[in-house]
Chain A
Amino acid sequence: MSKIGITTTGMGETTVNLKKDHTQFFVFVLPLLFILFFLLYPILITVLRSFMGTGSKFNLSKLTLSGYEKFFTTKLYTSSLKNSLIVATSVTLGTILIGVPMGYFVARVKIPGKKLMLSLGILPMIMPSFIGAFSWIILLGNNGILRYAFNFILKPFGLEMPSIYGMFGMIFCMILTYFPYVFLLAEGAFSGANALLEDAAMLMGARKLRVFRTITLPLILPSLGASALLVFVRAIGNFGIPAVIGRQVYTLPTLIYFRVNGFVDYNGASSIAVVNCIITGLVLWFQKSYVKKREYETVSATHTEIKQHEHPVAKILAFLFCLIILILSLAPQITIIVMSFFEKWYGLLPEGFTWENYAVIPRTSSKELFNSFFLSMSATLLSALLGSILAYITERKKPFGAGFLDFAIMLPFILPGTVVSVALISAFARGSIIRLGGTYTIIIISYMIRRTPYTYRSVVASLSQLNPSLEEASTIAGASWFRTFRKVSVPLILPGIVSGAILTFTTLLQELSTTILLYSPKTRTIPVQIYIQVAENSLGRASALSTVLFIVVFIVVYFTNKSRKFSMTSGFKM
């Protein structure tokens, strides 16, 4: 036992010479309070409100199940729930059917342009999904160019191409939006797999197809399952696509919007939000208890390069498959850019070339541009701070209840944006203790709640690779906790913080599903304005604004990917 700092004098009289370092305590308490007050409290209020009748004030003595009964009695509710489940299930299956083969082709078949395919593959993930949806209206809508072309061919046969509006369109657009989640993961798994495991099977007499069926696929199945479930959760929470092309086909997020915007019925919206939460919660529970346990460590210690298929037929087929998918998933972006220079586009070609769509931006959208940048930037900085501190607490300090804390932080990652806004409105709107309705603050808070998981995951990933002895060495050398944190921990996890922050910023610039329920005329953002313009059918102006968004996002992402220090992928994981 060392006696440094402690001297015992006489009977039980102990003098502690060390001053206790309290900085740590304050740094940790503030983020925890934030989580408690702006995440857990609103969720509690939402759950309570969901048991209150439509239109009734916040009153704990009159609880009822009427909000939930509607799911069995009202046709709109029943069909919305059914639609959501159909869409999410089909989208999950569709992304697997597209993403897994494409991942395999890019990883294991010798085809040109692999790097380009991988970087273009990220685009649908960082581009706002509702912009993709409205560009498909241009291509496949009632007067869409592709539909026009298809119908021209199909007419003699008495057939007609279905319009993009409705169920088909939603599933189609969401598959193209979410397939990269499966594609990028499958590609990584197929190319990073331990080649020796496959070599061993081959030596034991297994042919290629058998090796794939019994070794390659089973090994990546669990992590593939995780990404498929993430797609499910994302699809069921997506607001933009059903809002733009769902028309009369409602899903849970659009139903929530309908209750809040049409009827100002927070209690009713809360019930729908809770149902939405229960579904995502079940999926997450399934993932944690079945899928996660079976994930295998398959990274090989000795790096042997995986052999690639070189058969010309395989090469051509694989290349064509990837090319078609990429063209489909990039068609929206191209359409939008073309559209932004024209007045209208009904039928085969756009008509009326004009600069007007861009020229009006300073007049119509300068406030929205400011709002978008201001809100995204402040929320990014704050959530980077919040996320890294929280990551540090759960990963390094492992306090009592770290598991719950981790769950609480990651919760908004899977919660639909509309649910988060409903929770925040019902807690802080009219008649509550703190009134934040219509302010910048409530939007920033909602952004922080929703995006902190990005930085959090990213930092947890870099912290877990960081040997604690680096920090211990600093402490032993006499540095205080704060100095160690500042001089050792932060510089080492900085790449994690920065990549999380960049992901946060680019996705926030296009955020719609939360903002749509929280904005006021003062705090309107660019995506909201695009959404309104689409609803008013001024597609040219919407396209011009979307193009501006693309360019900003693309520049940020391009320069991030160029400096190889940052990896954007760890922020995407559950």
Chain B
Amino acid sequence: MSLSLAYQNVDKVYQSRGKKESAMVHALKNVSFTINPGELFCLLGPSGCGKTTLLRSTAGLEDITGGKILYGDVDMSIIPPYKRNIGMVFQSFALYPHMNLFENVAYGLRVRKLPNDEVRKKVEAVMELVGLQEELKRNPFPTALSGGQQQRVAIARALVYDPEILLLDEPLANLDAKLRRYMRAEIRRIQKATNITTIFVTHDQEEAMAVGDRLAVMKRGVVEQIGTSDELYTAPDNTFVANFIGKMNFFKGVLSGEKTVRIDETRLSVTVEPQNIRTNGLAMKGDKVFFGARPEMLEVSKNNESGNGIPGKVIIIQHLGQVVRYEVVLDSDITVQNVEIDMPHMVKEISENDHVFIKVREGRGFVFLPEVSNQ
């Protein structure tokens, strides 16, 4: 039976060749959270955020500098990797070019000295699970397989010996876009069928949101927020998470009332729902804040009929299918980045380079502490 996997104050410091203080890289800083048994957990963040380091530390391929990794009550960080009973799928799949399909998958079973007929039974069962029964009959070398098939072999190889934990290190990065969407559903199906506690590392937020039961967003060795896809999207804790999970436009402003923000350089005052004030109680009335709005929370129009529009200029119009995205540049005192606005339809009278007005839909938007978001 699976147990929970808990990280307690995990630290990882890389000492580079030079012995100077500056040569140290703090890859993980005081990371603490718990993954539930049978959960499909995503580690998400930009490159260099420490997600792969955390995964490799879980596998035992890296030694952690401080803290504990507990599986149930057992501290895993002192167990050598070959005794941890972990399955791992690498970004490059790491299939053995000198072994055929069967032997690749059977490797972990051979190590465990299972009798031949049991090895055969288990390999056949796991290949059926990943949908490669036909390929197993031909039993080719892995180089003769397509990318998607190699991916399935890598998953089968990691699952065949019933590991306690399954680790997936950017498993879809080497596949093309269409296959990626298909395989992420497959991974979720296989994970749910086996119910093995799984950690899935990715830098693609769409992938993480689609696959994971819960997500941890990381930045520079620190876990910024943990939650379900819905929680992270509808209630991001800070500007980084807000703009990493989906798009968020930020406007400089001042907290003018308990539920209202006045946007700088305008007389515009916006009302925000109480649960969307994500300042953790740290911003008082009159403090500088960021007002955040997702593209679908904004409207663009040619005329300023209501009088509370923010003037700007359309740079690019992109038709994305379900929505039409307008990219608008505003006064740099309001926001430095271009504002993205999603409209359900093409607005006929607006074309590129036109002067327009932006309006916030009633009661939508977030309030954040003013941080520099350098995502």
> Which residues on A are within 8 Å of B, measured CB to CB?
194, 196-197, 199-207, 210, 214-215, 218-219, 294, 296-298, 300-302
| Contact partner, B107, options A196, A201, A219, A298, Cβ 8 Å | A201
**Contacting residues, chain A, for B85 (C-beta < 8 A):** 205
Chain A residue at smallest Cβ distance from B86: A203
A205 and B108 contacting across the interface, CB-CB below 8 Å = yes
In residues 87-116 of chain B, which contact A (Cβ within 8 Å)? 87-88, 90-92, 94, 96-98, 107-108, 111-112
Chain A residue at smallest Cβ distance from B81: A202
| Contact partner, A196, options B94, B97, B158, Cβ 8 Å | B94
Chain B residues within 8 Å of chain A by Cβ, number: 25
Scoring B82, B87, B88 by chain A CB atoms within 10 A of each residue's CB, the highest score goes to: B82
A196 and B90 contacting across the interface, CB-CB below 8 Å = yes
Q: How far is the CA of A194 from the CA of B88 in the complex (A)?
A: 16
**Contacting residues, chain A, for B97 (C-beta < 8 A):** 219, 296-298
Chain A residue at smallest Cβ distance from B110: A214
Chain A residue at smallest Cβ distance from B97: A296
Shortest distance between the CB of A287 and any CB in chain B (Å): 18
Whether a CB of chain A sits under 8 angstroms from the CB of B208 is no
Contact A197/B94 with A203-B87, A205-B111 known, Cβ cut-off 8 Å: yes
**Contacting residues, chain A, for B82 (C-beta < 8 A):** 202-207
| Contact partner, B98, options A203, A204, A296, A302, Cβ 8 Å | A296
Extra contacts besides A204-B107, A219-B97, A301-B92 (13): CB < 8 Å:
A196-B90, A199-B81, A199-B94, A204-B82, A204-B87, A204-B111, A205-B82, A205-B85, A205-B161, A206-B107, A218-B98, A219-B96, A302-B92
Q: How far is the CA of A40 from the CA of B66 in the complex (A)?
A: 69
Scoring B60, B85, B88 by chain A CB atoms within 10 A of each residue's CB, the highest score goes to: B88
In residues 59-78 of chain B, which contact A (Cβ within 8 Å)? 59-61
Q: How far is the CA of A200 from the CA of B112 in the complex (A)?
A: 15
A215 and B96 contacting across the interface, CB-CB below 8 Å = yes
Chain A residue at smallest Cβ distance from B154: A200
Scoring A200, A201, A214, A218 by chain B CB atoms within 10 A of each residue's CB, the highest score goes to: A200
**Contacting residues, chain B, for A297 (C-beta < 8 A):** 97
Shortest distance between the CB of A199 and any CB in chain B (Å): 5
A210 and B96 contacting across the interface, CB-CB below 8 Å = no
Shortest distance between the CB of A531 and any CB in chain B (Å): 46
Whether a CB of chain A sits under 8 angstroms from the CB of B220 is no
**Contacting residues, chain B, for A298 (C-beta < 8 A):** 97
Shortest distance between the CB of A307 and any CB in chain B (Å): 9
Shortest distance between the CB of B85 and any CB in chain A (Å): 7
Chain A residue at smallest Cβ distance from B160: A204
A203 and B91 contacting across the interface, CB-CB below 8 Å = no
Whether a CB of chain A sits under 8 angstroms from the CB of B325 is no
Chain A residue at smallest Cβ distance from B98: A218
Q: How far is the CA of A202 from the CA of B85 in the complex (A)?
A: 10
Q: How far is the CA of A206 from the CA of B108 in the complex (A)?
A: 8
Q: How far is the CA of A206 from the CA of B87 in the complex (A)?
A: 12
Shortest distance between the CB of A34 and any CB in chain B (Å): 40
Is chain A's interface secondary structure helix, strand, loop, or mixed overall? Answer: helix
B90 and A205 contacting across the interface, CB-CB below 8 Å = no
Shortest distance between the CB of B123 and any CB in chain A (Å): 13
B91 and A200 contacting across the interface, CB-CB below 8 Å = no
B111 and A194 contacting across the interface, CB-CB below 8 Å = no
Whether a CB of chain A sits under 8 angstroms from the CB of B83 is yes
A204 and B94 contacting across the interface, CB-CB below 8 Å = no
| Contact partner, B94, options A200, A207, A214, Cβ 8 Å | A200
A204 and B108 contacting across the interface, CB-CB below 8 Å = yes
**Contacting residues, chain B, for A206 (C-beta < 8 A):** 82, 107, 111
**Contacting residues, chain A, for B61 (C-beta < 8 A):** 199, 202-203
Binary interface profile of B, 27-62, with partner A (CB < 8 Å = 1, else 0)? Answer: 000000000000000000000000000000001110
Q: How far is the CA of A215 from the CA of B85 in the complex (A)?
A: 19
Whether a CB of chain A sits under 8 angstroms from the CB of B157 is yes
Contact A204/B161 with A196-B92, A219-B98 known, Cβ cut-off 8 Å: yes
Whether a CB of chain A sits under 8 angstroms from the CB of B84 is yes
Number of A-B contacts (CB under 8 A): 67
A/B interface sample: 28 pairs, CB < 8 A:
A196-B90, A196-B94, A197-B94, A199-B88, A199-B94, A200-B88, A200-B90, A203-B82, A204-B82, A204-B107, A204-B157, A204-B158, A204-B161, A205-B83, A205-B108, A205-B111, A205-B112, A205-B161, A210-B111, A214-B107, A215-B96, A218-B98, A294-B98, A296-B98, A297-B97, A298-B97, A302-B91, A302-B92
**Contacting residues, chain B, for A300 (C-beta < 8 A):** 92
Chain B residue at smallest Cβ distance from A194: B94
Q: How far is the CA of A6 from the CA of B107 in the complex (A)?
A: 64
**Contacting residues, chain A, for B112 (C-beta < 8 A):** 205
Shortest distance between the CB of A161 and any CB in chain B (Å): 44
Q: How far is the CA of A196 from the CA of B97 in the complex (A)?
A: 13
**Contacting residues, chain B, for A197 (C-beta < 8 A):** 94, 96
Q: How far is the CA of A203 from the CA of B112 in the complex (A)?
A: 12
**Contacting residues, chain A, for B94 (C-beta < 8 A):** 194, 196-197, 199-200
**Contacting residues, chain A, for B158 (C-beta < 8 A):** 203-204
Shortest distance between the CB of B71 and any CB in chain A (Å): 14
Chain B residue at smallest Cβ distance from A221: B98
Chain A residue at smallest Cβ distance from B85: A205
Shortest distance between the CB of B100 and any CB in chain A (Å): 13
Q: How far is the CA of A197 from the CA of B94 in the complex (A)?
A: 5
Shortest distance between the CB of A299 and any CB in chain B (Å): 11
| Contact partner, B81, options A203, A210, A214, A294, Cβ 8 Å | A203
Leading 4 A-B pairs by shortest Cβ distance: A204-B108, A196-B94, A296-B97, A205-B111
Scoring B87, B90, B161 by chain A CB atoms within 10 A of each residue's CB, the highest score goes to: B90
**Contacting residues, chain B, for A201 (C-beta < 8 A):** 107, 111
**Contacting residues, chain A, for B88 (C-beta < 8 A):** 199-200, 203
Shortest distance between the CB of A331 and any CB in chain B (Å): 34
In residues 148-195 of chain B, which contact A (Cβ within 8 Å)? 157-158, 161
Shortest distance between the CB of B145 and any CB in chain A (Å): 15
Q: How far is the CA of A194 from the CA of B95 in the complex (A)?
A: 11
Chain B residue at smallest Cβ distance from A199: B61
Chain B residue at smallest Cβ distance from A222: B98
Q: How far is the CA of A562 from the CA of B28 in the complex (A)?
A: 39
**Contacting residues, chain A, for B81 (C-beta < 8 A):** 199, 202-203
Q: How far is the CA of A205 from the CA of B104 in the complex (A)?
A: 14
Shortest distance between the CB of B106 and any CB in chain A (Å): 10
Chain A residue at smallest Cβ distance from B88: A203
Q: How far is the CA of A202 from the CA of B60 in the complex (A)?
A: 10
Shortest distance between the CB of B358 and any CB in chain A (Å): 43
Q: How far is the CA of A214 from the CA of B82 in the complex (A)?
A: 15
Q: How far is the CA of A214 from the CA of B111 in the complex (A)?
A: 10
Binary interface profile of B, 280-293, with partner A (CB < 8 Å = 1, else 0)? Answer: 00000000000000
Shortest distance between the CB of A154 and any CB in chain B (Å): 47
**Contacting residues, chain B, for A194 (C-beta < 8 A):** 92, 94
Q: How far is the CA of A219 from the CA of B142 in the complex (A)?
A: 14
Q: How far is the CA of A378 from the CA of B84 in the complex (A)?
A: 64
**Contacting residues, chain A, for B108 (C-beta < 8 A):** 204-205
**Contacting residues, chain A, for B111 (C-beta < 8 A):** 201, 204-206, 210
**Contacting residues, chain A, for B92 (C-beta < 8 A):** 194, 196, 300-302
Shortest distance between the CB of A172 and any CB in chain B (Å): 34
**Contacting residues, chain A, for B96 (C-beta < 8 A):** 197, 215, 219
Q: How far is the CA of A528 from the CA of B94 in the complex (A)?
A: 53
Shortest distance between the CB of A137 and any CB in chain B (Å): 45
**Contacting residues, chain A, for B84 (C-beta < 8 A):** 203
